[in-house]
Structure 1
Amino acid sequence: MGKRALVLSGGGGRGAYEVGVIRALYRAGWIPEILVGTSIGAVNAAALAAGWTAERLVDFWLGLRSHHVHRPHLRIWRSLFTTEPLRATLRRYIDFERLNDPDNPRTLLVLATDLRRGCPVVFASRPIPKTLPVRIGPEHLLASCSIPYIYPATPVERSVFWDGAVMANTPLNAAIEAGADEIVAVLLAPMPGQAGGWPLPRHPLQALALVLDLALLATFENDYRQLEAVNQAVRGGRPLKPTHREIRCHVVAPAAPLPLSRILRYDPAGTRALIAQGEADAQRILDRLEG
């Protein structure tokens, strides 16, 4: 059996949808060796890389509240919220020693945007081509979660970083470079052309969230089409490069846009509903694969 990769995108409190997907995948025995995450997806991926079960992740999210993630920033000219509560939460709950253990069978890749160089960077828990191998800690996850203006940029590794969604939210290429043969990519917005209508943002924060969602979709659609073109060439016996191989990619995404208001909200009722939705959507994909 080849290597499996789980690619998790960003979306704040809507990341509970990913937790439902993870619960369905783990229950079916689909356990990834490669975990790729951006923003809140990086937090979920890090938890799994540190050895969490799906049910522990569910329990964590059901106990998560907004004040565990952020609080209003006193210097609003820098950002609306500070992520210091999230830093404390990560340090309290995630075992970074276990995550970075050289014998850990799981590889973690975290995407962020390097402001000084103007490019995406992939932090990796072990050496992978086209990544920056580091000892991943809370600061790398915070860098990936630093939504512009909503949260402050995060200094890491002699640079300053924003949310990975700014340039590439669902890094399929990172999973491929890590050796994935099968990928499940989880989006927190509908696949391009499948949504029945996007909600109009009611204030600037929702407008920014919508912009990031649309950037996510544009990046993912391009990466997905490239992967499908490579797969088609390989199946036809005409690989574009000698190293190309067929890589199966399954996408789990909501049929309709998730509420923009959920980006900054973490509460049991909303979390429970998103977990159930993600679980149901993932089960439909699993049923098709088994059929």
Structure 2
Amino acid sequence: MTDHSSSDLAIVLSGGGARAAYQVGVLAAVAERLPGLTIPIITGVSAGSLNATYLAAHRGPLALAVKGLQGEWLRLTSDQVYQLPATGVAKTTLRMVVRSLRLRRDTAVHGLLDTRPLARFLTQVVDFEGIDHNIASGRLKAVALSATSYDTGATVTFVHGAADVPLWERVQRVAVRSRISVPHVMASCAIPIIFPAVKLDGGFYGDGSVRQTAPLAPAIHLGARRVLAVGMRAHTMIASDLLATTGEYPTAAQVTGLLLHSVFLDALDADVERLERINRLINSHPPGSALPDGLRPVRLVQVRPSRDLGALARGYVPRLPMLMDFIVRGIGGKEERGADFLSYLLFEPEYTGLLMELGHEDAGAQWGKLESLLAERAGA
């Protein structure tokens, strides 16, 4: 078995709730074709941190790790990720309003949904001690998960890696050395207001996508020269779609879906464009001359859905737990315009299995580019 690996290869797994199942399909296509591949730098944010942590902690080869991850996603259901709080969403929302008006100060509100089921799931399926094992064996250089500090507004990247891996500090971005555990994953996944904040080292953290303007940066700081990034936004939109109108007042689900898009999808696309501009600048530099500010070229391949993941969620509302189904319908989530919102919460095998199939198909369609990136060795 050929080991197509080197210390400069990274995978970047972005956020997107249940949409992160798409990443697993992409990984499956890679593992089938390059079963000896090791990925020494793994970064994740939001739901992508679940996949990143599982891969970093698995003690077997990539093929076995991805097969296990596929199995967990196919067993995962919404009630294993979140449940309605005992007080109910309506009462919880009212408590939030009352508290914000300072009419009552005795009861803190910790998110519209209770994510303790996800914490239990992670404890059961992720071998966190495997991260140290893989670092010691040389298969893993570092795994990095990002979360947002509610105290400072900064994006904090928790880095679990070899002793010599670099840390960094930039404007509103900082890396800290950590031992990745369940709370780090939970913090990275904590969608504001919907999921509760998570306490880490005395501070409270939420979803890492909220303020992360440079999602490729952690991988590059850790030494990546080749990056596979898996996005969540379909590339099928054409210019005329940007001005399309329906003439109908937006539903709550439609508005929420748009806000979630801005959190989970926009930053990666913008950062990819920025990296491509830097690479063009470097390539235009005279051969042999020093590059400005220590810049170095970084090869990048981004795999994106060929179909709209929100559109694929339409019709799956009945798969949600009954009370959640009722709430989603009530805010317009069943309507075509609310499908994007639904897609973030639809942790159901019928939907996530479809996303894995699509990811596998899309990676296969781009295999020429992927093979060139992944099979290249350092310095080649």
Query: Corresponding residue for 2:26?
Result: 21
> 1:221-247, CA deviations, whole angstroms, 9 ceiling, x for partnerless residues?
332232122212322335653532211
Q: Does 1:74 align with 2:86?
A: yes
Q: Does 1:237 align with 2:237?
A: no
Query: Corresponding residue for 1:37?
Result: 44
Which amino acid is 2:143 matched to? L
Please report how far the alpha carbon of residue 279 of structure 1 lies from its aligned counterpart in structure 2 after TM superposition. Answer: 0.7
Which amino acid is 2:279 matched to? N
Please report how far the alpha carbon of residue 285 of structure 1 lies from its aligned counterpart in structure 2 after TM superposition. Answer: 1.6
CA distance in 2, matches of 1:114, 1:81: 20
Structure of higher RCO (CA pairs closer than 8 Å, 6+ residues apart): 1
Once the two structures are superposed, the pairs formed by residues 28-177 of structure 1 within 5 Å of their partners are 28-29=33-34, 30-51=37-58, 53-74=65-86, 76=92, 77=96, 78=109, 79-101=111-133, 102-103=135-136, 105-106=139-140, 107-126=142-161, 127-130=165-168, 131-168=175-212, 171-177=215-221
| Larger Rg computed on CA atoms | 2
Q: Is the Cα–Cα contact under 8 Å of residues 6 and 185 in structure 1 kept in the other structure?
A: yes
Q: Secondary structure at the match of 1:211?
A: helix
Q: Is the Cα–Cα contact under 8 Å of residues 38 and 169 in structure 1 kept in the other structure?
A: no
Q: Is the Cα–Cα contact under 8 Å of residues 170 and 216 in structure 1 kept in the other structure?
A: no
Q: Is the Cα–Cα contact under 8 Å of residues 9 and 170 in structure 1 kept in the other structure?
A: no
> 1:83-124, CA deviations, whole angstroms, 9 ceiling, x for partnerless residues?
100001111110111123441522211011111011111111
> After the TM superposition, which of the residue ranges 15-24 and 201-210 deviates more from structure 2?
201-210
Counterparts in 2 of 1:18 and 1:199: CA distance versus 1, 3 Å: farther
Which amino acid is 2:283 matched to? R
CA distance in 2, matches of 1:206, 1:152: 22
Which amino acid is 2:124 matched to? R
Q: Secondary structure at the match of 2:158?
A: strand
CA distance in 2, matches of 1:38, 1:44: 9
Match of 1:219 among 246, 252, 267: 267
Please report how far the alpha carbon of residue 290 of structure 1 lies from its aligned counterpart in structure 2 after TM superposition. Answer: 5.0
Q: Does 1:284 align with 2:291?
A: no
TM-score (structure 1 length as normaliser): 0.90
Counterparts in 2 of 1:188 and 1:221: CA distance versus 1, 3 Å: closer
Match of 1:11 among 16, 34, 54: 16
CA distance in 1, matches of 2:272, 2:236: 11
Please report how far the alpha carbon of residue 273 of structure 1 lies from its aligned counterpart in structure 2 after TM superposition. Answer: 0.8
Q: Which runs of 5+ in 1 are unaligned?
A: none
Please report how far the alpha carbon of residue 205 of structure 1 lies from its aligned counterpart in structure 2 after TM superposition. Answer: 5.0
Q: Choose between structure 1 and 2: higher strand proportion.
A: 1
Which amino acid is 2:151 matched to? R
Q: Is the Cα–Cα contact under 8 Å of residues 232 and 265 in structure 2 kept in the other structure?
A: no
Please report how far the alpha carbon of residue 192 of structure 1 lies from its aligned counterpart in structure 2 after TM superposition. Answer: 9.4
Please report how far the alpha carbon of residue 146 of structure 1 lies from its aligned counterpart in structure 2 after TM superposition. Answer: 0.5
Q: Secondary structure at the match of 1:100?
A: helix
Which amino acid is 1:273 matched to? L
Percent identity of equivalent pairs: 30
Match of 2:305 among 254, 257, 263: 254
Query: Corresponding residue for 1:273?
Result: 354
Report the number of matched residues.
291
Which amino acid is 2:57 matched to? A
Superposed CA RMSD in Å reads: 2.6
> After the TM superposition, which of the residue ranges 12-21 and 74-83 deviates more from structure 2?
74-83
Q: Secondary structure at the match of 1:155?
A: strand
Q: Secondary structure at the match of 2:205?
A: strand
Please report how far the alpha carbon of residue 181 of structure 1 lies from its aligned counterpart in structure 2 after TM superposition. Answer: 1.2
Q: Which runs of 5+ in 2 are unaligned?
A: 1-5, 59-63, 97-108, 169-174, 311-339, 373-380
Please report how far the alpha carbon of residue 185 of structure 1 lies from its aligned counterpart in structure 2 after TM superposition. Answer: 0.8
> 1:59-91, CA deviations, whole angstroms, 9 ceiling, x for partnerless residues?
111111111111012352332211100001111
Counterparts in 2 of 1:87 and 1:271: CA distance versus 1, 3 Å: same
TM-score (structure 2 length as normaliser): 0.70
Which amino acid is 2:42 matched to? L
CA distance in 1, matches of 2:19, 2:75: 15
